[in-house]
Amino acid sequence: MSELERLTARLAAVLPPGAVITDPVRLRTYECDGLTHHRATPGVVVLPDGAEQVAAVVRLCGEHGVPFVARGSGTGLSGGALPRTDGVLIVTSRMRRIVEIDIPNRRAVVEPGVTNLAITEAVRDQGYYYAPDPSSQQVCSIGGNVAENSGGAHCLKYGFTVNHVLAAEIVTPDGDIVELSAMDAGYDLLGAFIGSEGTLGIATKITVRLSRAPEAVTTLLAAFTSIEAGGHAVSAIIAAGVVPAAIEMMDALAIEAAEAAVHCSYPAGAGAVLVVELDGPHAEVEHQFAAVERICRDSGAFEIRVAASAAERAAIWKGRKSAFAAVGRISPAYIVQDGVVPRTALPRVLAGIDRLQEEFGIRVANVFHAGDGNLHPLVLFDDSVPGEAERAEIVSGRILDLCIEHGGSITGEHGVGVDKARYMPRMFTGDDLDTMQLVRCAFDPRGLANPGKVFPTPRLCGEVPGVRKGAHPLVEAGLAEQF
Amino acid sequence: MSERDVGDALEATGVAVRAAGDEDEVAGVRPRWVALPESAEEIAAVMRVCAAHDLAAVATGGGTKLHWGAPPRRCDVLVDLCCLNRVVEHAAGDLVVRAQAGVTVEALARALAEGGQELALDVPVPGTTVGGLLATGIAGPRRFRHGTVRDLLIGVTVVLADGTIAKSGGKVVKNVAGYDLGKLFTGSYGTLGIIADATFRLHPLPAARAWVTATVERPVTETYGTWTNEDGLTFETLTTDLDGSLATMVPAVTESPLEPSAMEVDWPDVSGRCTVAVLVEGAAAAERAKALCGLMGETAEVAEEPPPWWGRLPEHGGTGNTGGGEILLEVRNMPCRLADGFLGLFEAVREAGVRAAMRGSLASHVFHVALPPDTDPALVAGFTSQLRAGVGEEARVVVLAVPPEAGRRLDRWGHVGALRLMHRVKERFDPDRRLSPGRFPGGI
């Protein structure tokens, strides 16, 4: 009998009926997250309802030395919720209560399975909203947002999940329930926990900041003949001291895909479209809008549309928000990349991507959060053509190299997960990674929380604390295994 | 090993080292040497000597808050980062800046202003360096709009106790690769490592700024009455209330669609009047400020300049914000617990029999309270307990600065929920407890 089987036999005692899934067919439902080319059938799936139950499962994992992975809605794009065949998948879908809405204190307390948009929907009538807005906000869970430090189109002005979470109740990898609060003195463990991709524990209750809905919102779509002209407009907007809520750009191929999928009716013949959203007090938005419109015209925009209503705003956003799925209309398969470059390096990086397309005969559609240099190149390929998937994979990796060369990052919002762990050493030195590992060892010395994610070759946390160099002696001797 | 051998080992690093004097004391503890490294590599060299000889090290920048936090249990080497004073890169087009730890916030602001940009913080202690700003996590009025330094930090280079140089984050704002060590080091009071440089996201300098100020004559009103118990005995009672205009003004302003960047209060003596000031930034600032006037009562007026106390910590007796005698507390609470904050302070002052000045953010509900430096240590401790009781369980009262004698009598940090995890983090980063030992909650 394996440790996993022994553990599974004990799960029923700590969970309500129906909360333990062992049926192989049902287990397969959970074999991947939004990054579908990584798949693994979980050893067992549990559906706890509440922090105590999560803690009980995690403690059992500790007793049996079995790894565990947390999963929210499974929309992640880096394989962060990829299960372990030898482990427990802890799914938070039963923890969907909005515990408290406290408008006077501008906060809401929610369970991790609550969707991002549900928070906004609960407070919209009162003139508030939850600011981070990942494209998957209708379905993605707030617990997943905390794990990934999710951003969204509007994070240019409003920041990321970490800037909007005030406290979190977590279950540590030891199975303790601990409150991390921005109010407390001491280390900012809340800040370190958010974005740790499930490797430091599982959030079971999250206190988020609610933001006041802006008085005015103006959305503008500008069409340019080339991506260079659009890029010039972005730089000029930033240089003019305007901080829009969002600046998004799509290239011709991405526009073609969006047209095919959702008929967004973007201006014909556009080499690039720019979506700029301004929000704030009326007087300020008016002023900034005039500046942005002028800059777009000066940069060569041949058509500018301004949304006059919520419906028109939604129409402008429709093309952008559907872009990832839309490329399915023009290509049998694709890889979504998530690199970041300093905004001023955008033209050089885009030129580099063009060269890669030519060199490898692979098409790349570009969709990006231009304001903060976050690229989402969609690398298109036909998996029925021998060798094309491999070439697409190489192009995808080379794009990340370009980002790193230009001082950027391998991920702006999708996370490292299992997908990019191998790229971490390109961005960080061994000392950098070992230092991050100290945090991991403090929270999870046995490496049971989401092992194999984020870090390429996690080290064992030895009894002697401190930075370890090279392979662990026990591993070298074949006496231990690294999770 | 003799004192001389250790001194020689420090000298051998090539880093400038001098013997410490009285002026180098850290919260009353005098180090033996002061090292003046000029780069992350030189900090690392000093740390390796400290590791080899079991020397405890404390980092300092401008020295303006070196007396904050508990006194170190030991301190052999003061690592003075004043020579790491370069603004390494201001990429104006990318709205980011990388600066070494010893750069003062004033020097940084000057460099950034040339490009029409700023680090959108109002650091309330003049002379604070980038490293000191991060180590203490201190923030000012615009925390309401832009958050604190942890929200603007995007990359950091640190030197660990064993001399390892590590970085996290980078120079792009949007970046989720790896753990965010910058968050962990922010507010860590030098107990995890020494910050060598930091990269921040910037904001364009606002096109215009305007302030609205108003005065409230008696923020806390007292009402005498009587109360008769079941046995017919009559007692005199005294009830305190938050002034009604203040209670309505604060949410009206902070929740206004006019989007003020900050709302502050200055209450120099809790038996007297307070001044409220609101900052509006950006396009049409004057127009928006004028509209806010209407929410702030009859005394409200628009000003082009901030009031003199704006963005500074409260002080007493003209000692300024530095010096060993400073007694400074920070109160953090939920925004709508405004009355608890004012009444809690008012009553703690009365019960403890001290004088107190209060200043801080009405919008974020973070206040600083200063007592006169000569306040009796027992009264300081009594006041701290009274204040904690008065502001309520959900609030946090942290004693930022207090003379050693009073410090021994009180709990500086208040409730810290995740203390056990914090100990474990410290244990991993600094297993031999050589970095600012004892300065942090739980004796970390």
CB contact under 8 A, B93 and A238: yes
- Tell me if A104 is assigned to some domain: yes
CA–CA dist A117, A119 (Å, integer) = 5
pLDDT at B238 over 80: yes
Tokens of A458: 């996690």
Percentage of the residues of chain A whose pLDDT score is greater than 90: 87
* B94, B181, B428 ranked by CB distance to A344: nearest: B94
Strands A68-71 and A88-91: parallel
What mean pLDDT is predicted for residues B112-136? 96
Q: Same domain, yes or no, for B270 and B173?
A: no
pLDDT at B98 over 70: yes
With tokens 């398969």, the residue in question is A333
Pick from B426, B378, B428: nearest CA to B406: B378
What pLDDT is attached to residue B324? 62
What mean pLDDT is predicted for residues A256-280? 93
Best residue in A145, A438, A461 to probe B by mutation, most B CBs within 10 Å? A438
pLDDT confidence tier of residue B2, bands split at 50, 70 and 90: confident
What pLDDT is attached to residue B413? 96
CA–CA dist B96, B169 (Å, integer) = 13
The shortest C-alpha distance from A192 to chain B (Å) reads 6
Q: What is the pLDDT of residues A423-445, one digit of tens each?
A: 999 999 999 999 999 999 999 99
pLDDT at B382 over 70: yes
Q: What is the pLDDT of residues B285-317, one digit of tens each?
A: 999 999 999 999 999 999 999 999 999 999 875
CB contact under 8 A, B421 and A412: no
Q: Same domain, yes or no, for A239 and A313?
A: yes
Q: Tell me which chain B residues have a C-beta less than 8 angstroms from the C-beta of A421.
A: none
Q: Same domain, yes or no, for A278 and A365?
A: no
pLDDT confidence tier of residue A458, bands split at 50, 70 and 90: low
Q: Tell me which chain B residues have a C-beta less than 8 angstroms from the C-beta of A411.
A: 175-177
Burial zone of A159 (CB within 10 Å; 0-12 exposed, 13-18 middle, 19+ buried): buried
Q: Same domain, yes or no, for A102 and A208?
A: yes
The shortest C-alpha distance from B232 to chain A (Å) reads 41
The shortest C-alpha distance from B84 to chain A (Å) reads 21
Q: How many helices (H) and strands (E) does chain B have?
A: 13, 21
pLDDT at A457 over 80: no
What pLDDT is attached to residue B336? 87
CA–CA dist B256, B249 (Å, integer) = 10
- Tell me if A288 is assigned to some domain: yes
Q: Same domain, yes or no, for B120 and B149?
A: yes
Best residue in A183, A282, A468 to probe B by mutation, most B CBs within 10 Å? A183
What pLDDT is attached to residue A473? 43
- Report the domain count for chain B: 2
List B residues 414-433 in contact with A (Cβ-Cβ < 8 A). Answer: 414-422, 424-425, 427-429, 431
What pLDDT is attached to residue B1? 62
Strands B366-371 and B262-267: unpaired
Calculated CA dihedral for residues A158, B121, B115, B200, nearest 10 degrees: -70
Q: Same domain, yes or no, for A232 and A249?
A: yes
pLDDT at A246 over 90: yes
Q: Same domain, yes or no, for B178 and B143?
A: yes
Percentage of the residues of chain B whose pLDDT score is greater than 70: 98
Q: Same domain, yes or no, for B40 and B67?
A: yes
Work out the mean pLDDT of chain B and round it to a whole number: 94
Q: Tell me which chain A residues have a C-beta less than 8 angstroms from the C-beta of B192.
A: 187
Structural domain of A391: 331-415
Q: What is the CATH number of the domain that holds A407?
A: 3.30.70.2740
Q: What is the CATH number of the domain that holds B270?
A: 3.40.462
Q: Tell me which chain B residues have a C-beta less than 8 angstroms from the C-beta of A214.
A: 257, 259
CA–CA dist B10, A44 (Å, integer) = 57
pLDDT at A463 over 50: no
Q: Same domain, yes or no, for A201 and A302?
A: no
What pLDDT is attached to residue A1? 84
The shortest C-alpha distance from A305 to chain B (Å) reads 23
Query: Looking at the complex, does the CB of residue B288 fall below 8 Å from at least one CB of chain A?
Result: yes
What pLDDT is attached to residue B376? 95
Do residues B391 and B340 make contact, with C-beta atoms less than 8 angstroms apart? Answer: yes
- Tell me if A462 is assigned to some domain: no
Percentage of the residues of chain A whose pLDDT score is greater than 70: 95
* B164, B394, B425 ranked by CB distance to A439: nearest: B425
CB contact under 8 A, B181 and A436: yes
3-state DSSP call for residue B59? strand
Burial zone of B396 (CB within 10 Å; 0-12 exposed, 13-18 middle, 19+ buried): buried
Final residue of a domain: which of A54, A71, A91? A91
What mean pLDDT is predicted for residues A192-201? 98
State whether the Cα torsion A203-B395-A129-B204 is positive or negative. Answer: negative
Q: Same domain, yes or no, for B372 and B298?
A: yes
Instruction: Number of A to B CB contacts under 8 A, please give it.
Output: 253
Q: Same domain, yes or no, for A129 and A149?
A: yes
pTM of the model: 0.95
CB contact under 8 A, A443 and B335: no
The shortest C-alpha distance from B87 to chain A (Å) reads 17
Q: Same domain, yes or no, for A17 and A122?
A: no
* B167, B283, B396 ranked by CB distance to A284: nearest: B283
Q: Same domain, yes or no, for A360 and A324?
A: no
Do residues A323 and A258 make contact, with C-beta atoms less than 8 angstroms apart? Answer: yes
CA–CA dist B373, B369 (Å, integer) = 12
Report phi then psi at B418, rounded to 5.
-110, 40
Q: Same domain, yes or no, for A288 and A234?
A: yes
Q: Tell me which chain A residues have a C-beta less than 8 angstroms from the C-beta of B257.
A: 212, 214-215, 281
Final residue of a domain: which of A71, A91, A111? A91
Q: Same domain, yes or no, for B192 and B142?
A: yes
- Tell me if A432 is assigned to some domain: no
Q: Tell me which chain B residues have a C-beta less than 8 angstroms from the C-beta of A290.
A: none
ipTM score here?
A: 0.96
Q: Same domain, yes or no, for A314 and A361?
A: no
CA–CA dist A284, A216 (Å, integer) = 9
- Tell me if A473 is assigned to some domain: no
CA–CA dist A459, A445 (Å, integer) = 10
Q: Tell me which chain A residues have a C-beta less than 8 angstroms from the C-beta of B441.
A: 185-186
Work out the mean pLDDT of chain A and round it to a whole number: 93
Q: What is the pLDDT of residues A272-323, one digit of tens each?
A: 999 999 999 999 999 999 999 999 999 999 999 999 888 999 999 988 988 8
Query: Looking at the complex, does the CB of residue B204 fall below 8 Å from at least one CB of chain A?
Result: yes
Spell out the residues 6+ positions from residue B266 whose beta carbon is closer than 8 angstroms to its own. Answer: B274, B275, B277, B307, B309, B314, B358, B359
Partner residues linked to B357 by β-bridges: B370
Q: What is the pLDDT of residues A23-65, one digit of tens each?
A: 999 999 999 999 988 999 999 999 999 999 999 999 999 999 9
Percentage of the residues of chain B whose pLDDT score is greater than 90: 90
Q: What is the pLDDT of residues B130-158, one digit of tens each?
A: 999 999 999 999 999 999 999 999 999 99
CA–CA dist B211, B303 (Å, integer) = 5
The shortest C-alpha distance from A5 to chain B (Å) reads 31
Q: What is the CATH number of the domain that holds B69?
A: 3.30.465.10
Spell out the residues 6+ positions from residue B309 whose beta carbon is closer than 8 angstroms to its own. Answer: B266, B275, B359
List B residues 155-174 in contact with A (Cβ-Cβ < 8 A). Answer: 158, 160, 162, 164-168, 170-174
What pLDDT is attached to residue B4? 86
What mean pLDDT is predicted for residues B219-237? 89
CA–CA dist B118, B281 (Å, integer) = 13
Final residue of a domain: which of A329, A347, A379? A329
CB contact under 8 A, B176 and A416: yes
CB contact under 8 A, A344 and B151: no
What mean pLDDT is predicted for residues B23-44? 96
3-state DSSP call for residue B195? strand
Do residues A333 and A381 make contact, with C-beta atoms less than 8 angstroms apart? Answer: yes
Q: Tell me which chain A residues have a C-beta less than 8 angstroms from the C-beta of B207.
A: 241, 287
Q: What is the CATH number of the domain that holds A36?
A: 3.30.43.10
Q: What is the CATH number of the domain that holds A312?
A: 3.30.70.2190
**Nearest chain A residue (CA) to B157:** A432
- Tell me if A420 is assigned to some domain: no
What mean pLDDT is predicted for residues B57-77? 96
pLDDT at A324 over 90: no
Q: What is the pLDDT of residues A378-423, one digit of tens each?
A: 999 999 999 999 999 999 999 999 999 999 999 999 999 999 999 9
Structural domain of B26: 1-205+416-444
Q: What is the CATH number of the domain that holds A171?
A: 3.30.465.10
Q: Reduce the secondary structure of chain A to three states and give it as a string.
A: CCHHHHHHHHHCCCCCCCCEECCHHHHHHHCCCCCCCCCCCCCEEECCCCHHHHHHHHHHHHHHCCCEEEECCCCCCCCCCCCCCCCEEEECCCCCCEEEEECCCCEEEECCCCEHHHHHHHHHHHCEECCCCCCCCCCCEHHHHHHHCCCCCCHHHHCCHHHCEEEEEEECCCCCEEEEECCCCCCCHHHHHCCCCCCCCEEEEEEEECEECCCEEEEEEEEECCHHHHHHHHHHHHHCCCCCCEEEEEEHHHHHHHHHHHCCCCCCCCCEEEEEEEEECHHHHHHHHHHHHHHHHHCCCCEEEECCCHHHHHHHHHHHHCHHHHHHHCCCEEEECCEECCHHHHHHHHHHHHHHHHHHCCEEEEEEEHHHCEEEEEEEECCCCCCHHHHHHHHHHHHHHHHHHCCCECCCCCCCCCCCHHHHHHHCCHHHHHHHHHHHHHHCCCCCECCCCCCCCCCCCCCCCCCCCCCCHHHHCCCCCCC
What pLDDT is attached to residue B323? 56
pLDDT at B319 over 90: no
CA–CA dist A295, A302 (Å, integer) = 12
Q: Same domain, yes or no, for B403 and B434?
A: no
Q: Same domain, yes or no, for A218 and A204?
A: no
Q: Same domain, yes or no, for A223 and A287?
A: yes
Pick from B165, B195, B251: nearest CA to B61: B195
- Tell me if A187 is assigned to some domain: yes
- Report the domain count for chain A: 4
Q: Same domain, yes or no, for B125 and B242?
A: no
pLDDT at A475 over 50: no
Q: Same domain, yes or no, for B71 and B214?
A: no
- Tell me if A428 is assigned to some domain: no
Do residues A365 and A381 make contact, with C-beta atoms less than 8 angstroms apart? Answer: no
